Amino acid sequence: MASWPAHLFLLLLCLVLLAGEATPQTAQPPSVDDSADRWARPGCQAKCGNVIIPYPFGIDSEHCFGKGFEINCTNGTAYLGRGPGHNIEVVDILQDTPYLQGTLIVKHYIARDCNYHNGSRPEHVSARINLTRHPNYKFSHDRNSLVVVGCDALGSISSDRESTFATGCWSYCTDASFVANGTCSGIGCCTAPIPMDLSDFRLIVNSIFNHSNSSFAPCSYAFLADERTLNFSLSSFTEYSTREKAPVTLDWAIMNQTCEEAHGTGDFACVSPNSYCVNSTNGPGYLCNCSQGFQGNPYLNDSNGCSDINECSADPSPCVKRCHNREGSYSCSCPWYMYGDGQRDGSGCRSILRILYLSLGVGLSLFFLIAIVSWLYWIYKKRKLGELKQHFLEKNGGSLRPDIRLFSSEELEAASDNYNQSRILGEGGTGTVYRGVLPDRNVIAIKKAKISNDEAEVQQFINEVEVLSRINHRNVVKLLGCCLETQVPMLVYEFVPNGTLAHHVHGEGRRGSLSLEARIRISSEVAGALSYLHSAASTPVIHRDVKTTNILLDHNLTAKVSDFGASRLVPLDQNGLVSLIRGTFGYLDPEYFQTGQFTDKSDVYSFGVVLVELLTGKKPVAKMQAVKNLATLFMECVNSGRLVEILEERVVDEGTPELLEAAAELAMRCLSLNSYDRPLMREVAMELEALTRWTRIHPWGNVNVEEGDSLLSKVGSSSPSTVLRDSVNSSIEPMAPLEIVR
């Protein structure tokens, strides 16, 4: 007896659950305002006879209708427009039917041709209708067709205003038994399509045999009609004999502008919130519709505009239990003791009682099983991960450079938001560079190589660590550390925020963005960095891939040389090394390309191409006339006295002939085909530093005429660079040595 209350409680709970599952929610009937006033502007007549007049249509006052949409209501009959010629009767304006929005139905005369053969006078009546006075309207080409009814009927339609088209069809039959009800296939009835953008037409119907072959159908008829609502039968022959007019569907639109042109203007018609604009498919203009989940008049900016549809008030409700109306949509839910999506056309709501005990037992068993397996798997993965990290650390040369910071893979994943796509700074053939933020808020650049089994790519990353760990120069991107415990090592650099030099010279909309003074200064900084690599580093370094995409600019447009994956450390007692060809086409030293032997003069040639890029703003390889190489084209222009033709316009505007000739002469020496004729990188750096100092202390734009003439006269007897160096040395103090940060 002590357990009876518990059994009673369970029994009552089961009954409640089962009752809840079996009893659907009773939906309330929808509250829909069917009055015509909700379609018209406030204070305007909303109906004419039985025709509802929705805005932009309106009657009487200009306040009540949009331009070209006036309705004349006479004796309870609606007509398009007002005055002589505006006698087209309106039957219905289809506004609240989504697939018929932008259409209305009017009446037009039926063309007829009769020959009674009983002495009665023949009838031959054509029909025409012209909408040119109503430019907002066109005959709907996708809803209307030319319909010809008769057993000897040749009907045609043409433009009454312009001879732009003509089409028609012929219907023939001899006996009423051949006429098939419900189809207009050529026996007693035929159809023909009409073109788009049709604003007027003329209908003519004739008889080829004067109806002599058909005694039961002495008349033929031609009219436009909606073929989908046409119900042709044998009775149609007599039906149209008593009718003068037939309904035809018109398309209408707000004229003269597309959605894109009208949006944002003062007369844009789609004023209701939750409305959108669509371009007309039949001639110019646009229409407005309510967005999904809303209903009303999109042309009204008040309570009668597009308002939310309360789907939950529909009968039946779209939900079987609980319905929640939302702005423009709805959602369904089930009570706590049921499960499912709650949708009437979905899985609905089902009681959980039948699976409660089973799921509880299975769930507890699975919980303990998963917990034990997960714990064992976690121990296994942690051990394997440690072994894998140690393997990669040894493979990637972790013991070679113990003096640089080693980042963990977890640190770099957190800094780059798990290598989020939005953090990508740049991508290349061997890897991707991500922007990272350390916990101390310092911004870094993470170079992550693509996963590869190529040991050469791994060695390239290790080589870059070796090179950059020995270099500390203000114009060389700083290596902060690396991560060696992943399959392919990752490098961590200082963050250089202003992108590559190539972006500033060739990027979309960036052409001409750098001043001549900035170009000379940047080239001087790059030359200084390369001079340091060649001459001042503890072990000389040859970069082997000098190009504008490997030169970064910080927020002050200070140059930073980067990407030392192809670089080589050169012992002091070796003048050149032989290797596989490495570099980028357009920047590659021709001598190195032919012999396979690279020296520091190979970097000088590549730098010469960079200097020419800065002076000309052109890419190193492009289809220009018959020449595809910028260096060759530049040398040809200089040698033929056409230097100004190839220089960028801003460079010519901001420079003087002396400065431009000096820079061009230096570039020419760097681009010498024989490496022995090229200057050393430190000589290049000194000349560019002199040019930079001269432009700062004595701007070229302020050189007086006498001084300019003096310089030009010196150019005639010696090289431009020699004249410039002599002029600089006579006007400024001796140049201080290059500042090298160690």
How would residue 319 be classed by pLDDT, with cut points 50, 70 and 90?
very high
| pLDDT exceeds 60 at position 27 | no
pLDDT over 80 at 463, yes or no: no
Coil, helix or strand at residue 212: coil
Q: Which of 171-180, 335-344, 534-543 has the lowest mean pLDDT?
A: 171-180
Q: Pick the closest to residue 691 from 666, 717, 715, 708 (CA basis).
A: 666
One DSSP character per residue, 110-146 reads PEEEE--SSSPPPEEE-EEEE-TT-TTEEE-TTTEEE
Rounded to 5°, the CA angle 736-739-742 comes to 150
Task: State the average pLDDT over residues 538-554.
Answer: 90
Q: Can you tell me whether residue 441 is helix, strand or coil?
A: coil
- Mean pLDDT within 610-623: 89
* More confident site: 454 or 186: 186
- Kindly report the pTM of this predicted structure: 0.46
pLDDT tens digits for 264-278? Answer: 888 899 999 999 999
| Predicted local distance difference test score (pLDDT) of residue 259 | 94
Taking only Cα atoms into account, the Rg of the chain, rounded to an integer number of angstroms, comes to 43
Give the confidence band of 233 by pLDDT, cuts at 50, 70, 90: confident
Structure confidence at residue 527 as a pLDDT band (50, 70, 90): very high
**pLDDT number for residue 394:** 58
Q: What percent of the chain has pLDDT over 90?
A: 40
DSSP per-residue letters across 159-185: -SSS---EEEEEEE-S-GGGPPTT--S
pLDDT for position 97: 62
pLDDT tens digits, 715-726: 333 444 454 445
Q: Which of the 8 DSSP states describes residue 267?
A: T
pLDDT at 203: 93
The count of residues in the chain is 742
Where do the structural domains in the chain lie, given as residue ranges?
104-252, 396-495, 498-742
Structure confidence at residue 711 (pLDDT): 35
User: In this predicted model, which residue has the larger pLDDT, 486 or 31?
Assistant: 486
Rounded distance, CA 449 to CA 461, Å?
8
From the CB of residue 267, how many other CB atoms can be counted at a distance below 10 Å? 11
Mean pLDDT highest for which of 172-176, 221-225, 698-702?
A: 221-225
Average pLDDT over the chain, rounded to whole? 81
Encode pLDDT of 126-168 as tens digits: 888 888 888 899 999 989 999 998 888 899 999 877 667 889 9
What does the pLDDT look like over 404-460, one tens digit per residue? 788 888 999 999 999 999 999 888 766 789 999 999 999 999 998 776 556 666 667
Q: Specify the range with the lowest mean pLDDT, choosing from 34-43, 390-399, 657-666, 697-706.
A: 697-706
pLDDT reported for residue 119: 63
Beta bridge partners of 741: none
For residue 536, the 8-state DSSP code is I
- Between 26 and 627, where is the model more confident? 627
Give the pLDDT mean for 160-182: 81
Q: Residue 76: helix, strand or coil by DSSP?
A: coil
What was the pLDDT predicted at 614?
Answer: 95
- Greater model confidence, 94 or 73: 73
For 40, list phi and psi in degrees, rounded to 5: -100, 165
DSSP at 533: I
Residue 577 has pLDDT above 80, yes or no: no
Tell me which residues are annotated as active site: 545
CATH topology of domain 498-742: Transferase(Phosphotransferase); domain 1 (1.10.510)
Structure tokens at 252: 């209408």
What pLDDT shows up at residue 401? 53
CATH superfamily, domain at 396-495: Phosphorylase Kinase; domain 1 (3.30.200.20)
pLDDT (0 to 100) of residue 377: 87
Report d(CA 181, CA 189) in Å as an integer. Answer: 10
Domain 396-495 and domain 498-742 have a common topology = no
